[in-house]
Amino acid sequence: MFSELFNVVSPVLFISLIGFIWVKKEYAFPTDFVTRINMNLGAPCLVFVGLLGLREDISAMTTFMLASLFAIIILLILVSIFVYITGLPKRGYIIALSSSNCGNMGIPLSLFAFGDLGMSFAIAFYVVGSIFQYTVSLLISHGNMKIGELLRLSLLWGILAAVFFIATDSEPPIWVMNTANLLAGIMIPLMLLALGASLANLKIIKLSKIATIGAIKMFAGIGIGIFVANWFGFEGVDRNVLILQMSMPVAVFSYLLAARYNRNPDEVASLIFTTTLMSFILVPLMMLFLF
């Protein structure tokens, strides 16, 4: 059992660690380049390939995406209540605690734990989570949500391309699939390297307070994942992926919003760092007792 857990978690840990050490050694890491490659090429192709991987069961895909949306909304509601009750800075903590690193960590962990089907479900969750971040999180962060921002999101075009082939019951040309698979293949290692590089630049403050809040966020996510999975009657890979994705640490994207709009960026950065470290303990425990 230990070797199986190690095989799931170690690739994510080691590749992230490479990015972390790389930056700590003060080697050049082109963060802007990596981010643009991921967002403009890797993510659309990964979503395109992943959604097509679920085309044989459209009902399962749409049901899972609906369940993902419900889970994210429930988390947002509970986080908002928690932040208001505890008197924490509202916008920064709400966007951070309602997010999950479903891309950088959730997709590769689902792949290694549950295979290609698991990755496809994880990508479906990532689609819902990304759209949520680029709409609701932006609205919370600075009180304005522009549909035009969503239309410029390259991820959307990968979704629309997959929907076109699914709706028309047609197959993409072989050269399109080969190209998409190659570009999709670069995203997971680049995401993990970028995650490690980002962690290397984050500073931890108020460790005891932040660690407690982070633990509450992650256990709340697990509880919501279990509740929604049971509510929708999930029993197999879909159940496990939903719980796993809901347990993921605070998303790096939330720090970008917090820094841009001055929403307690140092505390958000600390949440990202501490919850990411916690996840490397929490995921193996979930593999033992939940999956």
Of the given ranges (47-56, 171-180, 230-239, 240-249), which has the lowest mean pLDDT?
47-56
Are the CB atoms for 105 and 248 separated by under 8 Å?
Answer: yes
Judged against a pLDDT cut of 70, whether residue 149 lies above it is answered with: no
252 vs 18: CA distance, rounded Å? 17
- The helix or strand, by DSSP H or E, that contains position 249, with its residue range, turns out to be none
Q: In this predicted structure, what is the pLDDT of residue 182?
A: 92
**CA angle (39, 43, 48) in 5-degree steps:** 145
Q: In this predicted structure, what is the pLDDT of residue 262?
A: 74
Phi, psi of 269 (to 5 degrees): -60, -40
In single-letter form, the type of residue at position 282 comes to L
Q: In this predicted structure, what is the pLDDT of residue 220?
A: 96
192 vs 104: CA distance, rounded Å? 6
Neighbours of 235 (CB within 10 A): 10
Q: In this predicted structure, what is the pLDDT of residue 246?
A: 96
Three-state SS for 250? coil
Q: Which residue would you say has higher pLDDT here, 276 or 289? A: 276
Mean pLDDT calculated for residue range 259-282: 85
Q: In this predicted structure, what is the pLDDT of residue 275?
A: 93
Domains and CATH numbers, the chain: 2-289 (1.20.1530.20)
Mean pLDDT calculated for residue range 29-55: 86
| Residue-wise pLDDT tens digits, 163-209 | 899 888 899 999 999 999 999 888 889 888 988 888 888 877 887 88
Q: Which residue would you say has higher pLDDT here, 5 or 213? A: 213
Judged against a pLDDT cut of 90, whether residue 231 lies above it is answered with: yes
Q: In this predicted structure, what is the pLDDT of residue 150?
A: 62
| Residue-wise pLDDT tens digits, 151-164 | 667 888 888 899 89
